[in-house]
Amino acid sequence: MPARAISARSGSRPRSAASTGSDPTVPGAPGASEKLRDAARSRRLILDAAEALFSERGFDGVGLREIAAASGLSRQTPSYLFGSKEELYRAVLERVSADRQYATGKAMSPLHAWCEQGGDRFALKDALAESLQSYMRFFLARPSFARFISWEELAGAARLRSARRQATALTDAFAAIGTVAKQRGLRHFTVDDAVLLWIALGYAPIANQATVQVAMNRDLSDATTRGRPVAFAVDQMFFLLAGAED
């Protein structure tokens, strides 16, 4: 009897697996740890293949069989592990969003350190530059994120909204700066304005790497080339947070 598809979100498994006597979820079952490792590896391969294909073609342009073929696994594996294309797409969105949240949190750590360690308003520029470089490097290394956002924007972003994800790292960092702004000689600013300006200066150039940046003959993957737009972005962020330099 063929195994029913399972849902990655519910963590349920097919009853037929238990009937074989080698259920990988049962401790002590023959080969349990090996089967768990194989399942985790299969899941990772499917997610990697799905991320590459969905980000290139969008949700409607990819089928589960293509994803299975790209992963090197059987054509039934995506359905077995994720249940449906919709669930797999959501799992990919959740993974790439979680990675973005983690990377952005790390990127903003120099700004949190500036808040905690008592830096002056000019040391803030160094923290902004370090954070922005790290922030941009993530999107350069993971171009699929920007592609997903573009596809979701075109589709109305319903699937993006339904995915379980966090996007608080930027808000947290600028809220922290806001709490010390007055005592550090900064001016009052709105956190939402700071987040929007940061995205416009740091994310948008990477998201338009193949269009606007090509037209400007800029390759932002090159650190030297990236230095000029980063310096400009830092000046704009600093003006919003601190006003004109003395």
Q: What is the mean pLDDT of residues 154-174?
A: 93
Q: Environment class of residue 140 by beta-carbon count within 10 Å: exposed (0-12), middle (13-18) or buried (19+)? A: middle
In the numeric block, which tokens belong to residue 176?
A: 């922290």
pLDDT higher than 80, residue 125: yes
Summarised one tens digit per residue, pLDDT across range 18-30 is 333 344 444 444 4
- The pLDDT value recorded for residue 9 is 39
- The pLDDT value recorded for residue 35 is 62
Q: What is the DSSP string of 211-240?
A: THHHHTT--TTSHHHHHHHHHHHHHHHHHH
Summarised one tens digit per residue, pLDDT across range 72-90 is 999 999 999 999 999 999 9
CA atoms of 222 and 202, how far apart (whole Å): 15
Radius of gyration in angstroms for the set of CA atoms belonging to the chain, rounded to a whole number: 22
